[in-house]
Amino acid sequence: MTGIGAINRSPSLTEALVPKLERLACALKNWLESSAYIAFHQGARQELDQIAGDLQRAAACLSQEKPLLLIVLMGGTGVGKSTLLNALARAPIAESSLVRPTTREPLVYCHESVADDDLDERLRQCRVVRHSRPELRQKIIVDAPDLDSQEEANRHKLQAILPAADVVLYVGSQEKYHDRLGWELLLSQRRRRAFAFVLNKWDRCVHGQSATGRRPDEDLERDLRAHGFDEPLIFRTCAAAWADARVSSTSLPPGEEFHRLEEWLHHLLTDREIAAIKAQGVILLLRRLSELLTSVQPPAVEHLLDRIRRAWHDEWRTQAEQLTTLLLHFLDSRADGINAQLAAEMRSHLHGGLALVAALGALRNKMASFRRWHRGLTGVLKPAGAPATQDAFPALLDWLSDVATEAQLTLRLAAIPQRLVILAAEAGYPARPMAQAFEELGQDWQRTVSAAMRQQMHAIKPTWRVTAGPRSWSQSALLWIGTWAPWTLALVTLFFLIYRTFAADGSISLWSLILLPGTVFVVCSLCLYAILMRFFPAAWDSVRGDVSCRAAQALGASFEQIFEPILARTTETLQRERKLVQDLIEQCRAAVSLAEHPAQFADVAALFAGPASPAVTRTSNEEHK
Amino acid sequence: MHENVSAEQMFEQMAQDLSWLARRAQAQGRSPETCLRLSLAAAIARHSFRCAASACLPPIALVAVIGGAGSGKSTVTNLCIGRAVAETNPQAGYTRHPIVYVSARVSQESWCRHLFGQRLQYHAGHVPADHDADIYQVRTPADAEGVLLQRVMLWDCPDMTTWQAQGYVQRLIEILGLADIVVFVASDERYNDEIPNTFLKLLVEAGKRLVVCLTKMRPEDAQHLCSLYREKVLAALSAQADGIPCLPLPHLAPEVLGRPELAPQITHQLHSVLLTLADPLPSLRGQKQRQERSFVSAALATAQAVVADELSVLSQWHQVVAAGRSQFEERFRREYLSQENFPRFNESMARLVELLEIPGLSHVMRILRLPWRSLKSLLGWARSAPAVHLPEETTLRPAFAAWLDLLLHEALRRQADHPLWVRVREELQGAWRRKLAEDFERLLSQFAREQSQAVEALARSIHEELAKNPLALNSLRGLKFTIEAGSVAGVVAFMGLNVWDLAWPFIIPPLVQELVELMGEQYVNAEREKARRRQLELLQTVLSDPLTETLVQWPIREVESLKTAAAIGARLPDARRQLETWPLDAAAPPAATG
C-alpha cells in the first residue's frame, strides 16, 4: 500500500468528470427516447436504459464530498453471508440459522451519519442497521439474499441490488465456492465491478484433507486466475467462530484470515482507494456502454447509395415496361372504343364523298361494338363505369387505365417495394429500417402512380392529321383529291351524258342521268377512301406507340418520385443515428481517458478482472449463451 | 424375440429423441426442471426400459449416491461400505465419473461391464476419481465383503452443482436412469438448493426409492434439521415423499472420516435402511417400472410441447408461403384469365352451327342466306371480336418471381427472430432460387401442355358430344329445318302465291339461323367460363400445389434442427402409445434373486 501517496486525486478530476458523465447520461437518454433504430435491438436497449441510470447515479455519487462505498455480500445459501456480517459487526444483527434460505431481504449495515437519502434508491426499502464505527464510516455493507435456493425471488432481489454495488464480496464455502449459479453471475459481472473473495467455513476446507484433490482455496485461486483475476484477493475465514464472540485463537484452523479481512475493510480501503474503485467502476461502465453502442451503431451506408440507386433505376424501368405491356394488352382488347374515337376525329378532316363513306363506316362500327358489347364478348370486365359520353379520348383512356390499375396492376405495384428492399439488402443496406420505411409509406402511393398516369394520358391528343414532313404533304394531297375528285368525275360523267344526249343524239333516261354520276361519285369516293385508309389508318395502332411511351414514362417518373426520397430519408435517419452514436462513443472515450488519467489504480487492480485467458474464453462464452 | 428387438429399438429411439429435445428445451430457455425431466426420461428409456425389454437387468439392486458438490457423497459411500474406499477430499467437484463398488463375485460377471452400452463405458483398471471421461470404474473393496455388497451395487456419482458439472452431469443422469435406489446426500448448507432439489423432485416422480442423508450439522442440531427438512423440502415434493427415510449424519471428526470402521453404528443403520428397500427385488422393480412408465409418459407429453415450440416458426413460414401463393394465383386470375377469350372456342362455335345443317341441304341454305349475310357484313355485324392473347408466361414468370421475393423480403425482416429466416435468406439469394426456378420452368411447360389440352378438350366437347349422339343431333336438325321450311310454307299458304313471296325463303331461314347462332353463342360463352375455372384449377394442381409443397417442406428437409424436430414430433404419439401398452410383467426379470 505504499503507492497510495503517489495518487493525487485532484479535485479538478471530479469537477471535470462529473459534468461529462451527466452530459453523457442525458445524451444517452435522449437518444434512447428519440431513436427509431434502437427498436431493432431490444436486448441492448434494456441494458442501455439501465446504464443510463447507472451513469447518472455514478455522477451523483462522485460529486459527493466523501463518496460512499457499497460492498455487497453475494453467495449461495448457507455459506455464511449473514454470519460474516455479524462477525464484522461484532453483533448478531443479521439472522443466521439452519433454515435455508435464511436471509430473504437485503440488510444494510452503514454508519449513523448516512442519511436515508444518501443511500442508493434500491436500498432505501431494505432494513438498515446503523453503527457508529469511524473506520467503516464511508462503507456500506449489504447482506444480500442467496442466489441458489429454491426461492427464486431471492435471486431477483440480489440482481436488483448488484448494479449498485461498487465491490462485490463473493462469499463461498468449501461446498459452494464453485457452484455454477454463483459462478455464472460472477462471470457476467466480472468486467463490470470490483470483486473480492471470501472462502468461509475455512475449517471444513482443511478438515479431512487427503492426498488427492486440490485445497479449495488453491482451486478457487487457480480458476480465478484463468478468468482474469491475476492476484485475486481471497480471505479464508471461519465467520461462525468470530460471530460467536467466544473465540480463542487456538480453536481456529491455521491460515484463518478474518483479521486480514477486517484490516482490509477498515484501513486499506481509504478515501483514495474508494475514489479509485469508484473511478474504475465508472470506467468499466463506460467501456461496457461503448461496447454496446458500437454493437448497435448503424453501419455506414454512403458508399452503397450509388449502387442501390442504379439498381433501383434499372428495376423500376423494367417494372414500368412490364406494367405498360400489361396496360396495352388491356387496351388492345378494348380497341374498338378507341377506334371509334379516332374515327370521329378523322371524320372532322374529311369532306364530300369521303365524309359520306366515313359516316357509313362509323355506323358499321357502332353496330359492331354494340353487338359485341351486348353479347359480352369483350371480356369478363363489363364496362360498368364507362364514361357516359365517350367523346373525350383521354377520358376514355383514363377510365380504361383506372380499370386496368384496379383490376390488374395493384398486385404488381404492391410487389415493387419488396423488390426494392431486396435490392438494397443485396447491396449491403440494412434491410429492416428500409422495410419499415416502405411499410410507413402505406398504400397511397399507388393512387399517386395512377394519377400520374392519368395526367400523361390527358396529354395524348389523338390526331389523324400528320403535322409535318412529306407524309403530311401527301396526306393533304390525298385529302384534296379525295374531296374534289369524286365531284369532278361525277360532273364529268354528267356532262358526258348530256353531251351524248344532245350532241350524239343518243337517248338516255332521266334515271341514268342521276344514277350513273352518282355511282361514279360513290365508287370514286370508296376507292379514294380505301387508299386513304391504307396509308393513313384511323386505328388504335396509330396512337398505341404514343400511349405506350407515355405510360412507361409516367410510371418510371412516378416511381422515381415516390421511391427515391425513401432511400434518401432512410439514409439520412441512419446517418443521423450513426453520428449520434458516434458522438456518444466519443464522449465515452473522452470520459474514460479523463478518469484514467490521474489514478493508475495499482492498489485496487487486484479487485478487477482483466481479460480471461484464451482457453477459458470459449467456455465462458458458451456459458453466457 | 422379434418383439423384444423392436421394443429395444423403440426405447433407444425414444431415448435419443428425448435427449435431443432436452438440449433444445435448454436452448428455448425452458426451466432447468423441464430439461432435466427430459434427460432423465431419456436415461430411463435408454437403460431401465431397454434392459427390461431385453431381459438383461442386473440381478442385484443399483444404489446411486448423489448430491451437491462437497455434500459428502464419498463419505456416505465409505460409511455404507464400512471402509475408506472412496477418495474424500474438500475440493468441490473432484469426482468426475461414476465409480461402482461391488463384491468380488459380481465384478467377475460379464453384465457388470456392459451396463450402459456406448454411453458410459466400462473402464478396466484403476484411475483417480477426477479422470474426466465417459467411463465408469468398477472397484472391489478388498476386505469389505459385507452383506450389503452381496445384495446391491453401490455407485459413487459425480456432483451436479459446480460449473464444471455441466460437462459431466450427463454421466450422473445415465446412472440414475438405471438406479433402483438413490441415496440423496444433502448437507446443512445445501439442503434447500435449487439444483439438487430439482433432481430430488424428479427422482421421486420417476419412482426411484430414495434415502436422504443429511450431513455435516452439529450433533445437537441433527433432530432439528431432520424435522426442518421434512417440513421444508419433503412436504413440498409429493405425498409419497413422506415415507422417505431421512438419516442425519452429523459432522464427523477427521479420524472417523479417514477410518469409517470407527463408526459401525452408522454403517449398520445405512445397511438396514438400504437392505429393507432392496428386498425383495422383483416387487421393488415392478413398482418402480410402473412409476417410471408414467413418468416417461408424462415426459413425452412435455416433449410434445417442446417440439411444438421448436416447430412454431414453421407455422409462420407456412403463412408467408400461403400469402405468396394466393398472390401468385390472384395475379394469374386477374392478369391472364380475365382477359383470355380462348379463340379456339370460335372454331367450335362454327363447327356447332355447321353440324346443325342437314347435310344435303347446306349448299341450298347457304345460297338462301347469302343476301342477309352480305347485308350483315356490310353493316359490320359479322366481325368477330379481336383475338387478343397474352401468353401465360408473361404473367406467370413475374408472378413466381414475386412469390419468391415475398419470401425473401419476409426473411430479411425476420432474420433476427429465428435461424430459419437467415437460412431462407441465404438460400433464396443463392442455389435454392436457381433450383426453384428450374422446377418452376419444368412445371410451367407441363402446365402449358395440360392447359392447351384442357382447352382443346373443352372446345372439342362442344360439338363432339352432339356429333356422337345422332338421335339428338338429327332431331335438332329436323326441328330447325321444320321451323325454316314450315314458316316459309305457312306464309305462302296463308298469303297465297305471288311474286313477292319469292323473298320469304331469303328472310325466314336466315332469321332462324341467327336465333340458333345466338343460342349457340350463349352456350359457348358458358363453356368459356367453365374453361376459365378449369384453368384456375389446373394452375392450382399443376403449379401452385407442387410449388407450395416444395416450399413448405423445405425447412423440414433442409434445416437440420427442424427436420429432427418434425421427425420426433411424428414419432412421439406412437412412442407414447407403445409405451403405455408395453407389458411390464413380461419384462420383469425372471431370475431376480441375488
**pLDDT at A247 (0 to 100):** 58
Q: What is the mean pLDDT of residues B333-361?
A: 82
Q: How confident is the model at residue A378 (pLDDT cuts 50, 70, 90)?
A: very low
Q: Which of A35, A431, A85 is nearest to B416 (CA)?
A: A431
Q: What is the mean pLDDT of residues B348-377?
A: 82
* pLDDT of B466 strictly over 90: no
Q: For residue A518, what is its C-alpha cell?
A: 352518282
Looking at per-residue confidence, does A393 or B49 come out higher? B49
Looking at per-residue confidence, does B7 or A290 come out higher? A290
Nearest residue on chain B to A422, alpha-carbon basis: B409
For chain B, give the percent of residues with pLDDT over 90. 47
Residues A186 and A193: beta-carbon distance below 8 Å: no
Q: How confident is the model at residue B44 (pLDDT cuts 50, 70, 90)?
A: very high
d(CA B408, CA B433): 10
**pLDDT at A600 (0 to 100):** 55
Minimal CA separation from A337 to chain B, in Å = 12
Q: What is the mean pLDDT of residues A435-450?
A: 87
CB contact under 8 A, B130 and A212: yes
**pLDDT at A616 (0 to 100):** 53
Q: From the candidates B31, B197, B409, which should be mutated to test the interface with A, based on the most A CB atoms within 10 A?
A: B409
* Residues B492-543 pLDDT 10s: 777 766 666 777 778 888 888 888 888 888 888 888 888 889 999 999 999 9
* Residues B207-230 pLDDT 10s: 999 999 999 898 999 999 999 999
Residues B394 and A414: beta-carbon distance below 8 Å: no
Instruction: Please report the residues numbered 517 through 546 in chain A whose beta carbons come closer than 8 angstroms to any beta carbon of chain B.
Output: none
Cα-based angle A193, A198, A203 (whole degrees, multiple of 5):
170
* pLDDT of A263 strictly over 60: yes
**Cross-chain CB nearest to A426 (options B402, B406, B429):** B429
Q: B416 phi and psi, to 5 degrees?
A: -80, -15
Q: For residue A227, what is its C-alpha cell?
A: 478468468
Size of interface A-B (CB pairs under 8 A): 207
Rounded to the nearest angstrom, the gap between the alpha carbon of residue A104 and the centroid of all alpha carbons in its chain is 42
**pLDDT at B90 (0 to 100):** 82
Least confident of B94-108, B237-251, B270-284: B237-251
Neighbours of B156 (CB within 10 A): 28
**pLDDT at B382 (0 to 100):** 54
Instruction: Please report the residues numbered 58 through 87 in chain B whose beta carbons come closer than 8 angstroms to any beta carbon of chain A.
Output: 68-71, 87
Q: For residue B517, what is its C-alpha cell?
A: 347462332
**Cross-chain CB nearest to A418 (options B93, B338, B406):** B406
* pLDDT of A129 strictly over 80: yes
Q: For residue B508, what is its C-alpha cell?
A: 325466314
Instruction: Please report the residues numbered 193 through 222 in chain B whose beta carbons come closer than 8 angstroms to any beta carbon of chain A.
Output: 193-195, 197, 216-217, 221
Looking at per-residue confidence, does B251 or A207 come out higher? B251
CB contact under 8 A, B385 and A378: yes
d(CA B156, CA B75): 10
Q: For residue B294, what is its C-alpha cell?
A: 408414467
Directed axis angle between helix A431-441 and helix A410-426, to 10°?
Answer: 160
Strands B61-67 and A234-236: unpaired
Chain A hits for B187, Cβ within 8 Å: 175
SS3 B128: coil
Please give the single-letter amino acid code of residue A528. L
* Residues A602-612 pLDDT 10s: 567 778 887 76
ipTM for the predicted complex: 0.80
* Residues B313-343 pLDDT 10s: 999 999 999 999 999 999 898 888 877 778 8
* Residues A180-227 pLDDT 10s: 999 999 999 988 899 999 999 898 888 666 667 788 999 999 999 999
Instruction: Please report the residues numbered 133 through 172 in chain A whose beta carbons come closer than 8 angstroms to any beta carbon of chain B.
Output: 148-150, 152
Residues A113 and A133: beta-carbon distance below 8 Å: no
Q: Which of B354, B39, B373 is nearest to B206 (CA)?
A: B39
Q: How confident is the model at residue A385 (pLDDT cuts 50, 70, 90)?
A: very low
**pLDDT at B464 (0 to 100):** 86
Q: Which of A448, A540, A97 is nearest to B225 (CA)?
A: A97
Q: For residue A241, what is its C-alpha cell?
A: 467462530
Please give the single-letter amino acid code of residue B320. V
Q: What is the number of helices (H) and of strands (E) in chain A?
A: 21, 7
**pLDDT at B303 (0 to 100):** 95
Chain B hits for A75, Cβ within 8 Å: none
Q: How confident is the model at residue A421 (pLDDT cuts 50, 70, 90)?
A: very high
d(CA B274, CA A208): 26
Q: For residue B368, what is its C-alpha cell?
A: 338462301
CB contact under 8 A, B193 and A149: yes
Q: For residue A444, what is its C-alpha cell?
A: 397511397
Q: How confident is the model at residue B306 (pLDDT cuts 50, 70, 90)?
A: very high
Minimal CA separation from B551 to chain A, in Å = 19
Q: Which of A168, A145, A155 is nearest to A99 (CA)?
A: A145
Chain A hits for B192, Cβ within 8 Å: 77, 100-101, 149-150
Looking at the DSSP bridge assignments, the partners of residue B247 are: B213
Average pLDDT, chain A: 82
* pLDDT of A244 strictly over 80: no
Q: What is the mean pLDDT of residues B359-383?
A: 75
Chain B hits for A623, Cβ within 8 Å: 163, 166
